[in-house]
Amino acid sequence: MPKPILRRLTCIAMAVVGCSSANAPGPAATDAGLGGATANGLGGAVGSGGTDAPGGGTPSGAAGAAGGQTSGGGRGGTGGQDATSGPSAGGGKTGSGGESSVGGTLSIGGERATGGITSAGGTAGGGATAGTGGRTGLGGTLARDGGPGTGGTSAGGGVDGGAGGSATGKLIRNDMFWKDTSGTPIYSQGGGVILVGDTYYWYGVKYNGAVTYAAKPTSQNDDTSFAGVTIYSSKDLAAWKLENTVAFSNAGSWFGRLGVVYNAKTKKYVMVAQGAGGLFFATSDTPTGNFVFDNVQTTLSGIANGNTGDQTTFQDDDGKAYLICSSMSGRSNLYVVPLRDSDFLAIGTPTRIFGGVGREGNALFKYDGHYYFCSSDLHGWNASHTYCISAANILGPYGSEFVMTNTDADFSHVTQTGFFITVKGTAGSFVIFAGDRWSDFAGNGLGYNQWMPLGFDGTSPIFNSLSEWSVDAAAGTWTVGPNNNYAANPSFEADRVSVTTPAGWTATSSSNVQGGHTGRWAWQLAGAATIDQQVASLPNGTYTLSVWAKGSGATGAKLYANGFGGTDASASLAGANGTWAVVSVPGIAVSNGKCRIGATTTTGTITVDDFVLVKN
């Protein structure tokens, strides 16, 4: 069973971090050169904010504008380019620091304030002088990571330092079907991303069943027939352009689990996949070209049972490329397999790095000199927590297996380990966990691609189960998104089987039932029953809680929030009938960084799904 304890401990630690003072740049809100209390005011070209001038609703500091002494950036405010926050300026709740903005010495970062590019844990922006580290200064309360050294020199936030700076960040929204730049759904499963120059290329498989499910995500299918390998490009990791779809006439009955690596000797991009009954190789002169079939290895010597379970590719900084895989049939052996050095068109000698229990969804990333081999349980198309082993050398020896922190609370945001992207920028680096949600074949919710940022506690990776976050690929930083849903496992899709306590929740007298508002599952309370979860690590502020519900005779039913530092809040669910309807509890003023959310009833039955706890 999942153990949410780890997640909570981590969140508590994050919340404590969030309480310390910070030094994020504050938006400069002025009105035609004078800091007035004007909503929606625009800062003058060289205006100075006046004393006590509050920022307007959506103020924009103009170039050169200086925030007033105690001016507060308004919600949504944007610091102007080169703006200088005043000594006590407060960043707006979702304010963004300007590109070269400098945080004032006593400034307080907004709860989701975003530091400017050059102030991400840098010299004056995030925690240099006050020593609070970039993590609260730039990234907001929940933000983590940003890489070692992002925190200021005297800051406490070195290792976990500034998540920060995202003046140009782009939102990643999970739990939905992604669209490419032309508005067409992105069909890419079981693939990988490589970086060529300043452009990321994303390869994955388009299955015909994925098209069917995205068009009507109400019941899963088993149509794994191969439509092609899609190739998308992006410079910001958020907007993806479809460059090509490559079909292979000899793909076979199963084609998938592919990766692309570049061989400098042959100057070829090499695609490695499961296909045509073995290990399938194809090449292209360019990252987006029509990859041409080269060969299939049908028997892989040195790998138990002669072929791979799941697999991905990994290319190290020295250019060497590897197949990352488990063995077929039981999948109880894990391997790092060098590809043939001369052309990458065959495998070399496998090194068995782990064994004894079945693992799949195998993928590897490198961070701060350590290699992390991650994998999942044998849950078929369903979600799993994420197992991890790490080593200083890619061929090992690897240490003891552990479950990646937070991945047990909602089974890796209802995904299976897919692949990883290491984002290196001007202000830091971090790793994206690119999870595969095989919802087309498992029916477990919306969307195929769920990407979450990883943080680190020393050499221990920490999973941040976010539904929305902002990535700044150029800076190598990230922040929590303004519409992030803070509830874990909100749609009850993590548990693929019948349970009486769902992952991430506590429950009495209830169980999951099939037929969700979204996905396969919902949660049903019968008689005197309750389901709830403690959400920690919440930035203080006002929240709205909502849930979809239907029911019968549930006269005492209610949706509730408590333990958030204010008066308990609730809304009746007693009116729920046989049709799904949404009920909300607005105005939850969180002042202690946490909130318990749930639903309860005393009579009848009520079925709930799709909890959302979002900051206003």
Chain residues binding Ca ion by CB under 5 A are 491-492, 516, 519, 521, 609
Phi and psi (nearest 5°) for 304? -55, 135
CB nearer to Ca ion: pick between 82 and 610: 610
Give, for 314, the enclosing helix (H) or strand (E).
strand 308-315
Query: Checking DSSP bridges between strand 595-601 and strand 581-590, what pairing results, if any?
Result: unpaired
Distances (CA, A) of 58 to 40, 92, 228: 5, 10, 45
Structure tokens at 420: 């990883």
| Shortest reach from residue 221's CB to Ca ion, in Å | 18
CB nearer to Ca ion: pick between 59 and 217: 217
| Shortest reach from residue 196's CB to Ca ion, in Å | 39
* DSSP letter string, 128-194: SSS--HHHHHTT-TT---S-TT-S-TT-S-STT------TT-EEEE-SS--B-TTSPBP--EEEEEE
- Which residue bears the tokens 């452009």? 199
| Shortest reach from residue 445's CB to Ca ion, in Å | 6
Give the CB-nearest residue to Ca ion. Answer: 516
| Shortest reach from residue 487's CB to Ca ion, in Å | 12
| Shortest reach from residue 377's CB to Ca ion, in Å | 20
Structure tokens at 237: 């990791």
| Shortest reach from residue 538's CB to Ca ion, in Å | 23
Phi and psi (nearest 5°) for 19? -85, -20
| Shortest reach from residue 409's CB to Ca ion, in Å | 16
CB nearer to Ca ion: pick between 454 and 525: 525
CB nearer to Ca ion: pick between 311 and 605: 605
- Which residue bears the tokens 């994206």? 432
| Shortest reach from residue 103's CB to Ca ion, in Å | 42
CB nearer to Ca ion: pick between 438 and 492: 492
Q: Among 504, 432, 499, which residue's Cα sits nearest to residue 470?
A: 432
CB nearer to Ca ion: pick between 128 and 583: 583
CB nearer to Ca ion: pick between 181 and 218: 218
Q: Among 544, 532, 540, which residue's Cα sits nearest to residue 593?
A: 540
Distances (CA, A) of 326 to 237, 332, 361, 375: 28, 7, 9, 9
CB nearer to Ca ion: pick between 268 and 496: 496
Per-residue b/e over 136-155, b at no fewer than 16 CB within 10 Å?
bbbbbbbbbbbbbbbbbeeb
CB nearer to Ca ion: pick between 85 and 489: 489
Structure tokens at 96: 């963004």
| Shortest reach from residue 609's CB to Ca ion, in Å | 4
Amino acid code (one letter) for 321: A
